């Protein structure tokens, strides 16, 4: 199971990074979503991998899952969800305004020769 | 346990929705509440700073749960000073936003401003790494809204870059937190300090990676090369009052580095050996070079100021990266100065913008209100470039003086001095092109000067300038305060014991005296 989880995190991260480097808003946003999935799984794994064990105290149970990473993941999911919504809206505004969905600065600036 | 410290976070958190929900269509009411809220923050922050100035660690346990299980807010000298600086800066920025009517050009400026303050206050006060992440997100999401306030294609485009860069930073932050939790089983900074001290030099791969990842995250916030690329575009495209408030945001990154790498990963622990001297210091020097070159190469005033912010962050990090009590004291002094100077310059570039919207560094007709604006620019530029007699000079002198013990002392001196020279040239060129030569341009027949910026704008800029001057005049007491702060950072035992040993709801009283203590509270 460790191998499966670890390679899932690795593949998600690699795919996410590749998409982020595409530098157009849609692939970049998809890439960031993949990265947040990767980090969510990673946070889960930081509390050690257990199967079917309860996170809260219960009679007759000896093995527990660590509840803290689950709470952290919940927070992280909510935050990344909100952030993705924001970035989609801002990116959409930028695309509709300038009719260009590149993330980086344009090569030849429009009027002011702004090289820096 | 008093509740004052939580008010710094709660007050803006209540004001912001109130402004959105109740005062949505009444700009006057929004302004009154915004100003009143920030004034209250200043009062609370000042009293906390005074309370912490004798070395007291102010601890606040949310819901009375004891650390490391509960969430804690901790106010020591460093936190309370930074909180006070934030609230004072916020007041002048707010005055400027009202005076220049920036707050009317889009919606929800005041609400977002309050949320931004809530995030910054929380980031300075929290005693827990995960809450640091949460407050980073609060301040970031408010800053996204402020960044694209009033809209415009160029601004939205810069906004996309800014948001994406910071989203990547947040993801990296979570990876770092996961790695730290997996290695130590805690995210409370005081508890972390105890547990990291237990690492004996074997099997430290995980915690080393976590420490480096965390440093990278803070380096993104503090705009250290090569992670500074987000700063020039976003700061120059952001509305000027927002850019001026953002001057404190890079300092949140610097603050986090100071806090985490003196408390949780102290410089003498072998887990992070070589991290600062081998990597952070050269990166900081490189940042300073990039900032200076950018100042010289910039073709627009707002980009020039943005690059000078990069340069001054390099300067701050040069001092921080040495991690000695003297250098941290110098860094803190310079950090306050650089926040005020950067905010002043951003506001001044907006004063210029009011009659020259493109801000290009070309000789044109004089800007309206040129005399006052030029004088303020002169003072701001002197402060930022680090010329005598203002606090930039004192700060640089302190940093140079603190770097004698560093193995890279020659490099530091050479780069700091030459970068300062280049910055002076850059600012002198900009000032003379915009203000000095403007009189030589022949005025057309139908020349009518643009309306002057409002008096309130000048009050805000003047207030910041007078703070800079006060920071210079009272350099002695300020430096003593910073030295005390730094000494407290390098003796973290009281901090750790206050956080971990104060009993809360979960702790069982060990004997009668413990119970008595609890009742007294």
| B493-506 pLDDT, tens digit each | 999 999 988 887 76
As to burial, measured by CB atoms within 10 angstroms (0-12 exposed, 13-18 middle, 19+ buried), residue A59 is exposed
Rounded to whole angstroms, the Cα distance separating B453 from B455 reads: 7
Q: What is the largest CA-CA distance in chain A?
A: 73
Residue A67 binned pLDDT confidence (cut-offs 50, 70, 90): confident
Percent of chain B with pLDDT over 70: 97
Tens of pLDDT, residues B447-458: 777 778 888 999
Do B338 and B315 form a contact (C-beta atoms < 8 A)?
yes
CA distance B285 to chain A (A): 20
* Binary contact (B164, A103; C-beta < 8 A): yes
Cross-chain CB nearest to B299 (options A35, A43, A114) = A114
For B298: left if phi > 0, alpha if psi spans -120 to 50, otherwise beta; the answer is: beta
Provide the pLDDT for residue B107: 85
Mean pLDDT score of chain A: 86
Provide the 10 A C-beta neighbour count for residue A5: 14
* Binary contact (B298, A91; C-beta < 8 A): no
Q: What is the pTM of this model?
A: 0.92
Do B62 and B68 form a contact (C-beta atoms < 8 A)?
no
Spatial neighbors of B288 by CB under 8 A, at least 6 apart, are B311, B314, B315, B318, B415, B416, B419
Cross-chain CB nearest to B164 (options A28, A98, A114) = A28
Cross-chain CB nearest to A87 (options B151, B157, B163) = B163
Contact list, A9 vs chain B (CB under 8 Å) = none
* Binary contact (A76, B298; C-beta < 8 A): no
Say yes or no: ipTM exceeds 0.85: yes
Poorest-confidence range of A17-21, A98-102, B286-290? A98-102
Do B92 and B464 form a contact (C-beta atoms < 8 A)?
yes
Provide the pLDDT for residue B11: 95
Cross-chain CB nearest to A114 (options B144, B181, B300) = B300
CA distance B179 to chain A (A): 7
Q: Is the predicted pLDDT of residue A109 greater than 90, yes or no? A: no
Rounded to whole angstroms, the Cα distance separating B207 from B204 reads: 5
Rounded to whole angstroms, the Cα distance separating B13 from B29 reads: 17
Provide the pLDDT for residue B425: 94
Provide the pLDDT for residue B508: 61
* Binary contact (A115, B160; C-beta < 8 A): no
Contact list, B144 vs chain A (CB under 8 Å) = 86, 90
**Residue segments in chain B with a per-residue pLDDT below the cut of 50:** 512-521
CA distance B138 to chain A (A): 9
Provide the 10 A C-beta neighbour count for residue B481: 18
Rounded to whole angstroms, the Cα distance separating B323 from B329 reads: 10
Q: Is the predicted pLDDT of residue A78 greater than 80, yes or no? A: yes
Size of interface A-B (CB pairs under 8 A): 108
CA distance A78 to chain B (A): 11
* Binary contact (A69, B130; C-beta < 8 A): no
Cross-chain CB nearest to B298 (options A35, A69, A116) = A116
* Binary contact (B300, A112; C-beta < 8 A): yes
CA distance A100 to chain B (A): 9
* Binary contact (B178, A75; C-beta < 8 A): no
């Amino acid at each position: 199971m460790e191998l499966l989880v670890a390679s899932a995190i690795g593949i998600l991260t690699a795919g996410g990074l590749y998409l982020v480097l595409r530098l157009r808003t849609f692939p970049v946003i998809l890439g960031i979503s993949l990265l947040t999935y990767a980090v969510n799984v990673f946070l889960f794994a930081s509390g050690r991998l257990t199967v079917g064990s309860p996170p809260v105290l219960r009679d007759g149970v000896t093995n527990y899952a660590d509840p803290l990473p689950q709470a952290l993941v919940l927070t992280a999911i909510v935050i990344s969800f909100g952030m993705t919504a924001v970035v989609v809206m801002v990116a959409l505004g930028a695309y509709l305004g300038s009719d260009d969905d590149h993330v980086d600065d344009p090569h030849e600036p429009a009027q002011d020769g702004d090289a820096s | 346990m008093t509740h004052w410290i939580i008010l710094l976070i709660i007050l803006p958190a209540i004001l912001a929705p109130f402004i959105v929900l109740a005062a949505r269509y009444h700009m006057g009411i929004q302004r009154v509440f915004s100003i009143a809220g920030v004034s209250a923050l200043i009062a609370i922050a000042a009293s906390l700073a005074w309370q912490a100035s004798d070395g007291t660690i102010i601890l606040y346990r949310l819901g009375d749960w004891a650390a490391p299980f509960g969430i804690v807010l901790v106010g020591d000298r460093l936190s309370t000073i930074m909180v006070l600086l934030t609230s004072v800066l916020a007041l002048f920025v707010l005055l400027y936003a009202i005076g220049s009517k920036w707050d009317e050009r889009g919606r929800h400026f005041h609400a977002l401003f309050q949320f931004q303050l809530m995030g910054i206050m929380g980031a300075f006060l929290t005693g827990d790494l995960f809450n640091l992440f949460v407050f980073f997100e609060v301040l970031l999401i408010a800053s996204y809204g402020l960044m694209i306030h009033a809209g415009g294609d160029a601004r939205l485009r810069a906004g996309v870059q800014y948001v994406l860069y910071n989203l990547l930073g947040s993801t990296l932050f979570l990876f770092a937190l996961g790695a730290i939790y997996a290695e130590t089983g805690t995210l409370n900074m005081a508890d972390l300090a105890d547990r990291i001290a237990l690492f004996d030099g074997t099997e430290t791969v995980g915690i080393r990676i976590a420490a480096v990842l965390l440093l990278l995250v803070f380096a993104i916030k503090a705009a250290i090369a090569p992670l500074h690329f987000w700063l020039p575009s976003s700061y120059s495209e952001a509305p000027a009052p927002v850019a001026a408030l953002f001057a404190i945001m890079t300092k949140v990154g610097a603050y986090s580095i100071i806090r985490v790498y003196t408390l949780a990963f102290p410089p003498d622990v072998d887990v992070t050996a070589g991290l600062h001297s081998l990597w952070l210091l050269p990166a900081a020097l490189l940042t300073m070079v990039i900032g200076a070159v950018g100042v010289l190469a910039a073709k627009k005033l707002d980009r020039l100021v943005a690059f000078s912010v990069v340069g001054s962050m390099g300067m701050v990090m040069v001092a921080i990266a040495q991690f000695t009590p003297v250098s941290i004291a110098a860094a803190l002094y310079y950090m306050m100065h650089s926040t005020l100077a950067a905010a002043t310059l951003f506001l001044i570039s907006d004063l210029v913008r009011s009659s020259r919207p493109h801000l290009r560094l070309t000789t044109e007709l004089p800007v309206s209100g040129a005399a006052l604006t030029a004088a303020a620019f002169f003072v701001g530029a002197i402060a930022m470039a680090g010329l005598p007699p203002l606090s930039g000079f004192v700060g640089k002198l302190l940093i140079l003086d603190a770097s004698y013990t560093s193995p890279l002392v020659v490099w530091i001196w050479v780069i700091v001095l030459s970068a300062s020279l280049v910055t002076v040239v850059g600012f002198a060129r900009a000032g003379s092109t915009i203000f000095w030569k403007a009189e030589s341009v022949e005025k057309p027949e139908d020349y009518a000067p643009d309306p002057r910026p409002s008096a309130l704008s000048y009050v805000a800029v003047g207030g910041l300038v007078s703070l800079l001057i006060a920071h210079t005049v009272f350099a002695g007491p300020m430096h003593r305060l910073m030295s005390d702060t730094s000494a407290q950072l390098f003796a973290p035992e009281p901090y750790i014991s206050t956080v971990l040993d104060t009993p809360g709801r979960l702790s069982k009283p060990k004997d009668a005296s413990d119970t008595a203590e609890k009742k007294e509270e």
